[in-house]
């Protein structure tokens, strides 16, 4: 892609957002520099209050990344080596990585072919089989809000309740999404999200947060975040991590949160346009009744993916493939003993999925250009 084409369409346009917020963000950073509390400064706690209010949760605990958010959540439920955690094989590695880091065992469950989220019926069947093995201590389910679309938590929470399991929502891509009247990050016992720069709400580095209504879980999270602290810095009551969110990142996020609803609305406008233009030509991620996506990515599957990618390249339009290899086929998880064919839906989606630009600063004219390019590629068949 040459520089002229890159100016026409970008996959994630952080520059336009930075220009829009330049004055507020610069002032916010300057305030942090002036007071000098770069670690756990007042902006961190103000941001936590506003996060909790936005999602409707009792508590929000910020941390250093979306990965650490998942890790801390699992530590807060006292996950032990050998415990079983069920999750999707169609996600970024962090979802399952944190399970293995604690010595627990990730068990994958295949996804739905239209939403790309974990399949609740297959989930229930898998748990029932595992429960039949008395040696398997099944503890938790981690559904992922893939591409910003919440998993079916109404069904998943029912399954979890019937089996006495925790549910941790991986909303790394999902902040801003919703299921009926409930916001993502607050759809289960514990919710987590990421503030990686390219996420719907992103900072200028790494960051994350955990959400809960549970007083005891909140108390543990606050402790785990700072090396398992108790009454003071040198009173350590449990094993923890260095998981703090920098004050400057909190200050940046506070400014970005002010325009987040406007950005979310813009994402929805672009996504709706794509869905209208591409319907019947590719299979777009399905939104069932009552579900609202945060549109971290706009993704579809097509048997003609290679042809579409070639045409997009020709026109200088960026694209991405999330995710080219399902987790059960990653070398890092070879110790689990899975093979190709074990999760056919995830594997097929990985082979045919494609994501195109959907950021808030994308014009309808650019969305039309992208849509026309995809349609023209398909007309070559």
Terminal CA-CA length for the chain: 25
pLDDT at 101 over 90: yes
Query: Percentage of the chain surpassing pLDDT 90?
Result: 94
pLDDT at 243 over 80: yes
Tokens at residue 145, please? 């809000």
Model confidence band, residue 233 (pLDDT cutoffs 50, 70, 90):
confident
Residue for token pair 């790309």: 116
Over residues 336-361, the pLDDT tens digits come to 999 999 999 999 999 999 999 999 99
Position 186 scores a pLDDT of 98
Strands 138-142 and 84-87: parallel
Model confidence band, residue 6 (pLDDT cutoffs 50, 70, 90):
very low
Strands 182-183 and 178-179: antiparallel
pLDDT at 28 over 80: yes
Q: What are phi and psi of 289, to 5 degrees?
A: -60, 130
Position 81 scores a pLDDT of 97
Specify the DSSP class assigned to residue 112.
Answer: P
Q: pTM, whole model, 2 decimals?
A: 0.95
Q: Can you give the residue ranges of every domain in the chain?
A: 16-109+116-258, 260-378
Position 219 scores a pLDDT of 98
Which range among 73-87, 130-144, 206-220 shows the weakest confidence by mean pLDDT? 130-144
Position 132 scores a pLDDT of 80
pLDDT at 16 over 50: yes
In the chain, alpha helices (H): 3-8, 14-35, 42-55, 66-76, 94-101, 120-131, 153-163, 215-225, 247-258, 260-278, 305-314, 344-352, 364-378
Model confidence band, residue 157 (pLDDT cutoffs 50, 70, 90):
very high
Query: What's the rounded mean pLDDT across residues 38-63?
Result: 98
Buried b / exposed e along 171-198 (16+ C-beta atoms within 10 A): bbbbbbbbbeebbbbbbbbbbbbbbbee
pLDDT at 4 over 50: no
Bond before 225 cis per omega within 30 degrees: no
Which range among 142-146, 230-234, 249-253 shows the weakest confidence by mean pLDDT? 230-234
Query: What's the rounded mean pLDDT across residues 311-325?
Result: 97
pLDDT at 22 over 80: yes
According to CATH, the topology of domain 260-378 is 3.90.1150
pLDDT at 379 over 90: no
Query: What's the rounded mean pLDDT across residues 279-290?
Result: 96
Q: What is the CATH number that goes with domain 16-109+116-258?
A: 3.40.640.10
Query: What's the rounded mean pLDDT across residues 211-235?
Result: 96
Kindly write down the DSSP assignment for every residue of 273-326, as one continuous string.
HHHHHHBTTBEEPP--TTEE---SSEEEE-TTHHHHHHHHHHTT---B-S-SS-
Position 380 scores a pLDDT of 66
Contacts of 188 (CB under 8 A, 6+ apart): 143, 153, 156, 157, 160, 167, 168, 169
Q: What is the mean pLDDT of the chain?
A: 96
Position 381 scores a pLDDT of 56
pLDDT at 8 over 80: no
Contacts of 304 (CB under 8 A, 6+ apart): 377, 378, 381
Position 14 scores a pLDDT of 94
| Residue count (the chain) | 381
Q: Decide if 283 contacts 302 (C-beta within 8 A).
A: yes
- 348 torsion bin: left (phi>0), alpha (psi -120 to 50), beta (else): alpha
Position 164 scores a pLDDT of 96
Position 5 scores a pLDDT of 41
| 235: three-class secondary structure by DSSP | coil
Position 2 scores a pLDDT of 36
What is the CB-side half-sphere exposure of residue 42 using CA atoms within 13 A? 8
Q: Decide if 101 contacts 121 (C-beta within 8 A).
A: no
pLDDT at 163 over 80: yes
How far apart CA 205 and CA 275 sit, in angstroms, is: 32
Angle, helix 120-131 to helix 153-163, in steps of 10 degrees = 10
């Amino acid at each position: 892609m040459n520089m002229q084409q890159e100016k026409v369409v970008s996959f994630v346009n952080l520059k336009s957002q930075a220009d829009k917020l330049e004055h507020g963000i610069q002032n916010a950073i300057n305030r942090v520099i002036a007071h000098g509390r770069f670690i756990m400064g007042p902006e961190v706690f103000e941001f936590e209050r506003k996060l909790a209010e936005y999602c409707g949760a009792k508590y929000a605990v910020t941390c250093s990344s979306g990965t650490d958010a998942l890790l801390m959540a699992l530590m807060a439920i006292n996950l032990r080596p050998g415990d079983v955690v069920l999750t999707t094989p169609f996600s970024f590695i962090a979802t399952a990585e944190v399970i293995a880091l604690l010595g627990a065992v990730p068990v994958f469950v295949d996804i739905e072919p239209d939403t790309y989220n974990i399949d609740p019926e297959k989930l229930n069947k898998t748990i029932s089989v595992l429960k039949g093995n008395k040696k398997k201590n099944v503890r938790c389910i981690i559904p992922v809000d893939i591409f910003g679309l919440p998993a079916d938590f109404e069904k998943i929470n029912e399954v979890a309740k019937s089996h006495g399991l925790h549910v941790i929502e991986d909303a790394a891509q999902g902040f801003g999404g919703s299921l009926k009247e409930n916001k993502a990050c607050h759809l289960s016992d514990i919710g987590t999200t990421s503030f990686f720069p390219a996420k719907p709400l992103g900072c200028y580095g790494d960051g994350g947060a955990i959400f809960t209504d549970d007083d005891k879980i909140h108390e543990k999270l606050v402790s785990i975040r700072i090396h398992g602290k108790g009454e003071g810095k040198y009173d350590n009551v449990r094993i923890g991590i260095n998981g703090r969110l920098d004050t400057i990142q909190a200050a940046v996020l506070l400014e970005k949160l002010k325009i987040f609803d406007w950005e979310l609305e813009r994402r929805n406008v672009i996504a709706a346009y794509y869905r209208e233009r591409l319907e019947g030509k590719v299979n777009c991620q399905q939104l069932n009744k009552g579900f609202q996506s945060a549109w971290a990515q706009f993704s579809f599957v097509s048997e003609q993916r290679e042809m579409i990618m070639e045409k997009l390249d020709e026109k200088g339009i960026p694209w991405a493939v999330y995710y080219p290899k399902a987790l059960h086929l990653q070398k890092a998880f070879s110790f689990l003993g899975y093979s190709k064919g074990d999760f056919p839906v995830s594997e097929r989606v990985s082979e045919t999925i494609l994501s195109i630009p959907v950021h808030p600063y994308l014009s309808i004219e650019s969305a039309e250009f992208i849509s026309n390019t995809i349609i023209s590629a398909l007309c070559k068949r």
